[in-house]
Structure 1
Amino acid sequence: MERNDYHYFRRREQDERAYAERAQDMTARRAHLDMAERYAERVRTLAPAVPNAI
Structure 2
Amino acid sequence: MAKTELNTKQKTEIDDRSSLKGTLASVFFLGIFIIVTWVSVYYLFVDRF
TM-score category, normalised to shorter length: 0.3 to 0.5
Per residue, is there more helix in 1 or in 2?
1
Task: Pick the structure with greater CA Rg.
Answer: 2
Task: Using structure 2 for the length normalisation, give the TM-score.
Answer: 0.47
Structure of higher RCO (CA pairs closer than 8 Å, 6+ residues apart): 1
